[in-house]
């Protein structure tokens, strides 16, 4: 086995493993002791069907697993605490709006009375077309207009438990007008701003400066207005959203404690609250650290359930109130694990020079000194050797800029510098040199060029420094000799990944193997099922990747459940208002002009127009 530990046992959630032949495999959560399916084998199988990388591989078995784990953790914890209310979880559609995902969650969720959360009109339209169980909730958050509210209220007529969560006093007036016009009373919720802040990526938007919801003064105003207008009996839900990816379970306890204070007070004011909705926040351990860092969590789903339920039970018992139904709007936890982005490496730029440039009697003396640095390289002198090599290289650059060194000498100097650096880096890896040196050496790792767009498929990596576990999908029984950052296929220098999880923590480069001419080299980016699919954009007009959904059979096999072809070039062009037919017409006119003046033959005309048409129909990625 390889000497590098990618930390798969720590972050793999028992779903990802390494097979004896070095391939990364997926395990069926329903058969953890069963055989794993090798990911490179899946990719080859899909390639034979004409589906090429980049591929967003959705594993339905993992999606079901996420949902069941959440609902069953709540059920078990409720039982162990003798909690007397039900769990009524809802899936926030914005976390993954794909029809297949929402449809599957609605279907599997039926047995758990699992519902949906809609933050916009289109999302409500999606929710109302799903086969939800009778007891399931549809929770409407966000800013709502008359049309949104009308549909929400009307849906009660056909058996949906649709709750309109009020975000402002003004919103209530629209609800009242629509309700009176329709003659149907709404189910209402109120989003309360808590003062407790939570740590993690969304710390700044938590607490009383959060964008959504009502502060204490407005809550009281709303209650008075509901009483005055005869709508107090409609207010059944209190909503509090903690923020996403909450790393520390203490924050859950603190916010639930404050939420309970509001709940108890509102009940004392005569509000018939039945549901306490704690929003999202249940995090995923992306790094396997099991710590309260931004990309990890210091709790399990069971501890999360316990923190909520025990706190609520205690507060309600103390106030002599019945236990409310608990609602959570966990999106990330349900869907994140279910998708993996797989892409191939197209090419590499190597900074790791293995062959020492031979000394030449005509060399500039700085180059001679540079080549000599290796002779006094030893673990104690790593930093000194680096400083010397950088000094000689920089002096030669200055000479080159002043016209005192020719291009060949300069090229040999750059090569000698990279060679010396590779020797220093190798010794540094073995003997763990000083931290500052690590940072310098990290700037010279190889660049592996991947067939993907960061902006389309991993927008959070770019926007909020989200860490996803990333590993080569093959040859993990072979020690990787190189370190690389991953560049995407866009022409944007931000399109790169340079933070990676290994067993011993975060690194600025990924251990990778030498590329072989006759072998594809695949990289997997794990746990990209939450937020990434629709937040992505069309930077450089790279469109959606191919999406394939598979089901694992627990015995080392799988079947393809569903495939959605990625965007064709003509599709992405039409997203930005081009008409591919008009474009073809314009191109054809230009070719015809060239034919008319004799620059292009009839045969060349056929080839030119054929190439343009084929490109319009092609995949936006490297084929
Ligand atoms: C109101 C609301 N509910 C639920 C969620 C989902 O949160 P998470 O993905 O952390 O479960 C969000 C996302 O931020 C949200 O804004």
Mean pLDDT (the chain, rounded): 95
Instruction: Give the pLDDT band (50/70/90) at residue 565.
Output: very high
Which region among 1-10, 286-295, 317-326, 611-620 has the lowest average model confidence (pLDDT)? 1-10
Q: Rounded to two decimals, what is the model's pTM?
A: 0.93
In the sheet where 16-18 sits, what is the strand order? 16-18, 24-26, 37-38
Q: How far apart are CA 312 and CA 317, in angstroms?
A: 8
Cα maximum dimension of the chain = 98
* Cα distances (Å, whole numbers) of residue 63 to 17, 29, 107, 467: 18, 10, 12, 20
Q: How far apart are CA 282 and CA 382, in angstroms?
A: 44
**Would you place residue 460 in the very low, low, confident or very high pLDDT band (cuts 50, 70, 90)?**
very high
Q: Is 280 in the pocket of ligand 1 (CB under 6 A)?
A: yes
Q: Mean pLDDT, to the nearest integer, of 150-174?
A: 96
From residue 182, how far is each of 125, 155, 173, 197, 468 by CA, in Å?
19, 12, 14, 40, 48
Q: What does the pLDDT average to over 558-582?
A: 94
In a shared domain, residues 218 and 266: yes
For residue 610, the enclosing domain spans: 570-617
Residue 193 lies in a domain: yes
Kindly list the distances between the CA atom of residue 28 and the CA atoms of 59, 154, 553, 557, in Å, as whole numbers in the listed order.
9, 42, 7, 10
Same domain for 218 and 256, yes or no, is yes
- Kindly state whether residues 198 and 303 are assigned to the same domain: yes
Q: Is 15 exposed, middle or buried (0-12, 13-18, 19+ CB in 10 A)?
A: buried
Measure 526 CA to ligand 1 centroid, in angstroms. Answer: 20
- Indicate if the pLDDT at residue 440 is higher than 90: no
The whole-angstrom distance between residue 171's C-alpha and the CA centroid of its chain comes to 33
- 303 plus 291 within the same structural domain: yes
The pair of structure tokens assigned to 40 is 């490179």
Structure tokens that stand for 299 in this block: 């709790």
User: What is the SS3 assignment for 171-190?
Assistant: HHHHHHHHHHHHCCCCEEEE
Residue 250 lies in a domain: yes
475 close to 22: Cβ distance less than 8 angstroms = yes
**Which of 525, 548, 566 is the endpoint of a domain?**
566
Residue 203 has pLDDT above 80, yes or no: no
CA atoms within 13 A on the CB side of 346: 14
Q: Residue whose CA is closest, atom 14 of ligand 1?
A: 244
* Residues listed for the chain: 623
Q: Contact, 54 vs 67, CB < 8 A?
A: no
Which letter, b or e, does each residue of 579-613 get, where b requires 16 or more Cβ atoms within 10 Å of its Cβ?
ebeeeeeebeeebeeeeeeeebeeeeeeebeeeee
Q: Using CA positions, which residue lies closest to atom 15 of ligand 1?
A: 280
DSSP line for 186-210: PEEEEEBPPS----STTGGGSGGG-
32 Cα: distance to centroid of ligand 1 (angstroms): 30
* Mean pLDDT value across residues 223-230: 97
Does the pLDDT of residue 534 top 90, yes or no?
no
pLDDT band at 537 (very low <50, low <70, confident <90, very high): confident
Q: What is the mean pLDDT of residues 243-259?
A: 95
What's residue 3's pLDDT?
78
Model pLDDT, residue 436:
84
- Distance between CA 516 and CA 539 in Å, rounded? 30
Does residue 383 form part of some domain? yes
Are 344 and 521 contacting, i.e. CB atoms less than 8 angstroms apart?
yes
- Residue whose tokens read 């609602």: 327
Cβ(281) to ligand 1 under 6 A? yes
Structure token pair of residue 270: 């005569």
Pick the last residue of a domain from 566, 581, 602: 566
Q: Which of 548, 566, 584 is the last residue of a domain?
A: 566
554 and 591 belong to one structural domain: no
Q: Answer yes or no: is the C-beta of 396 below 6 A from any ligand 1 atom.
A: no
Q: Calculate mean pLDDT across residues 418-437.
A: 88
Query: What pLDDT is recorded for position 209?
Result: 64
Reported as a single tens digit per residue, the pLDDT across 356-403 is 999 999 999 999 999 999 999 999 999 999 999 999 999 999 999 999
Note whether residue 149 is domain-resident. no
Q: What is the mean pLDDT of residues 549-574?
A: 94
Residue 196 pLDDT: 82
Residue 527 near residue 336, CB atoms below 8 Å: yes
Are 536 and 574 part of one and the same domain?
A: no
Coil vs helix vs strand at 111: helix
Do 283 and 332 meet the contact criterion of CB atoms below 8 Å apart? yes
Q: Name 161's bridge partners.
A: 137
488 and 402 fall within a common domain: no
Percent of the chain with pLDDT over 70: 99
Mean pLDDT score, 479-490:
94
Domains in the chain, number:
4
CA distance 122 to 109: 21
Assess whether 303 and 285 both reside in one domain.
Answer: yes
Residue 241 alpha carbon to ligand 1 centre in Å = 7
Rounded to the nearest angstrom, the distance between the alpha carbon of 140 and the centre of ligand 1 is 13
**Does residue 239 line the site of ligand 1, with CB under 6 A?**
no
CATH code of 541's domain? 2.40.37.10
**Packed helices 602-617 and 580-596: angle between N→C axes, nearest 10 degrees:** 160
pLDDT at 195 over 80: yes
Instruction: Say what the pLDDT of residue 4 is.
Output: 87
Please write the tens of the pLDDT for every residue from 87-111. Answer: 999 999 999 999 999 999 999 999 9
Q: Which residue has the tokens 């784990």?
A: 69
Given the CA of residue 212, which atom of ligand 1 is nearest to it? Answer: 1
**Atom 7 (ligand 1): residue with closest C-alpha?**
280
578 pLDDT above the threshold of 90:
yes
Structure tokens belonging to residue 385: 């050797």
* CA atoms lying within 13 Å on the CB side of residue 87: 30
Which pLDDT score, from 0 to 100, does residue 438 have?
83
pLDDT at residue 431, as a whole number? 85
- Residue 271 covered by a domain: yes
Ligand 1 mean position, distance from CA 247 (Å): 14
Q: Which residues contact 16 (CB under 8 A, 6 or more apart)?
A: 8, 24, 25, 26, 27, 469, 526
Residue 155, phi then psi, degrees to nearest 5 = -65, -20
497-519 pLDDT tens trace: 999 999 999 999 999 999 999 99
Are 202 and 307 members of one domain?
Answer: yes
Q: Check pLDDT > 90 for residue 493.
A: no
pLDDT at 1: 66
- Cα–Cα distance list, 589 to 203, 578, 609, 616 (Å): 57, 17, 10, 17
Lowest mean pLDDT among 66-70, 192-196, 582-586: 192-196
489 falls within a domain? yes
Reply yes or no on whether the pLDDT at 282 is more than 80.
yes
CB atoms within 10 A of CB 203: 15
279 in contact with ligand 1, CB cutoff 6 A:
yes
Ligand 1 contacts CB of residue 332 (under 6 A):
yes
Rounded to 5 degrees, φ, ψ at 401 are -60, -30
What value does the mean pLDDT take over residues 29-34?
A: 88
- pLDDT at position 598 is 96
Task: State if residue 174 touches ligand 1 by the CB under 6 angstroms criterion.
Answer: no
Alpha helices in 365-486 (DSSP H): 365-372, 382-401, 407-431, 435-442, 454-457, 459-464
Q: Are residues 316 and 343 in the same domain?
A: no
Tell me what percent of the chain is helix, strand and coil, each rounded to the nearest 5. 45, 20, 35
Q: Looking at the structure, do residues 194 and 253 belong to the same domain, yes or no?
A: yes
State how far the Cα of 235 lies from the Cα of 164, in Å rounded to an integer: 9
Domain contains 310: yes
Examine the domain organization and report whether 406 and 269 are in the same domain: no
C-alpha 74: how far from chain center: 25
Residue 207 has pLDDT above 80, yes or no: no
Establish if 272 belongs to a structural domain: yes
């Amino acid at each position: 086995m390889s000497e590098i530990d990618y930390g798969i046992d720590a972050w793999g959630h028992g779903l990802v493993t390494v097979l004896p032949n070095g391939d990364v495999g997926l395990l069926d959560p329903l058969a953890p002791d069963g055989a794993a399916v090798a990911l490179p084998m899946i990719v080859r199988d899909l390639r034979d069907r004409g589906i090429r990388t980049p591929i967003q591989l959705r594993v339905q078995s993992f999606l079901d697993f996420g949902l069941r784990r959440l609902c069953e953790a709540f059920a078990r914890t409720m039982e162990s605490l003798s909690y007397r209310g039900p769990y009524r979880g809802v899936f926030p559609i914005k976390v993954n709006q794909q029809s297949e995902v929402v449809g599957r969650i609605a279907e599997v969720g039926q047995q758990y009375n699992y519902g949906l959360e809609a933050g916009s009109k289109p999302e409500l339209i999606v929710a109302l077309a799903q086969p939800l169980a009778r007891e399931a909730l549809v929770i409407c958050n966000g800013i709502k207009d008359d049309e949104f509210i009308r549909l929400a209220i009307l849906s009660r007529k056909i058996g949906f438990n649709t709750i309109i969560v009020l975000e402002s006093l003004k919103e209530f007036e629209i609800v009242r007008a629509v309700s009176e016009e329709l003659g149907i009373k709404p189910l209402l919720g109120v989003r309360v701003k808590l003062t407790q802040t939570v740590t993690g990526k969304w710390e700044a938007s938590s607490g009383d400066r959060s964008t959504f919801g009502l502060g204490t003064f407005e809550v009281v105003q709303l209650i008075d207005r509901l009483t005055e207008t005869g709508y107090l009996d409609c207010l059944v839900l209190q909503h509090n959203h903690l923020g996403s990816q909450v790393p520390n379970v203490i924050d859950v306890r603190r916010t639930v404690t404050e939420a309970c204070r509001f709940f108890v007070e509102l009940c004392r004011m005569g509000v018939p609250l039945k549901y306490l909705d704690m929003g999202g926040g249940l995090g995923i351990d992306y790094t396997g650290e099991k710590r309260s860092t931004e990309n990890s969590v210091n709790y399990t789903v069971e501890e999360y359930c316990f923190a909520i339920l025990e706190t609520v039970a205690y507060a309600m018992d103390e106030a002599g109130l019945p236990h409310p139904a608990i609602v959570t709007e966990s999106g990330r936890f349900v869907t994140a694990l279910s998708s993996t982005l797989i892409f191939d490496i197209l090419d590499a730029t190597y900074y790791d020079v293995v062959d020492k440039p031979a000394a030449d009697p005509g060399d500039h003396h700085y180059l001679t000194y540079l080549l000599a640095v290796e002779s006094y390289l030893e673990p104690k002198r790593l930093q000194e050797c680096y400083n010397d090599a950088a000094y000689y290289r920089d002096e030669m650059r200055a000479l080159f800029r002043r016209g005192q060194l020719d291009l060949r000498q300069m090229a040999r100097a750059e090569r000698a510098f990279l060679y010396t650096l590779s020797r220093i880096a190798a010794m540094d890896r073995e003997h763990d040199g000083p931290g500052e040196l690590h940072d310098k050496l990290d700037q010279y790792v190889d660049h592996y060029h991947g067939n993907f767009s960061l902006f389309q498929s991993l927008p959070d990596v770019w926007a909020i420094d989200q860490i996803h576990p990333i590993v080569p999908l093959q040859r993990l029984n072979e020690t990787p000799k190189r370190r690389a950052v991953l560049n995407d296929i866009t022409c944007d220098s931000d399109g790169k990944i340079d933070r990676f999880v290994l067993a011993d923590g975060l690194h600025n480069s990924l251990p990778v193997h030498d590329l072989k001419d006759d072998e594809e080299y695949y990289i997997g980016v794990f746990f990209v099922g939450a937020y990434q699919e629709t937040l992505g954009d069309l930077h450089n007009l790279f469109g959606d990747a191919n999406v394939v959904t598979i089901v694992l059979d627990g015995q080392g096999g799988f079947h393809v459940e569903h495939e959605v072809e990625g965007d064709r070039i003509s599709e992405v062009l039409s997203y930005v208002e081009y008409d591919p037919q008009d474009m073809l017409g314009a191109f054809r006119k230009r070719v015809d002009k060239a034919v008319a003046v004799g620059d292009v033959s009839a045969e060349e005309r056929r080839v030119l127009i054929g190439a343009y048409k084929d490109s319009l129909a092609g995949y936006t990625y490297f084929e």
